[in-house]
Amino acid sequence: MCFRIVSPHEMDLDAGKISFKSPIGAALMGKKAGEIAEAQAPSGALRLRIESITPPACSEMVN
């Protein structure tokens, strides 16, 4: 899985954009590559291993 953490108004699950306020987004915040994030989602408990973190390209940051 690949996620982009965004503000709540930019959330688009089909595009892999999750809100930093969502259970998964909140669990991923502040984590580093190689760490495990644990989240309680509506579907149950999740353990996510962070493989890598890539900053967005500059062109993706401009509206």
Mind listing the domains of the chain with CATH numbers? 4-55 (3.10.50.30)
Q: Region 2-6: what's the mean pLDDT? A: 90
CA gap 34, 22 in Å, rounded: 21
Residue of 56 and 11 predicted with greater confidence: 11
Confidence of residue 57 (pLDDT cuts 50, 70, 90): confident
pLDDT at 2 > cutoff 90: no
CB 18 within 8 Å of CB 5: yes
Give how far the C-alpha of residue 22 lies from the chain's centroid of Cα atoms, to the nearest Å: 9
Of the pLDDT bands very low, low, confident and very high (cuts 50, 70, 90), residue 10 is very high
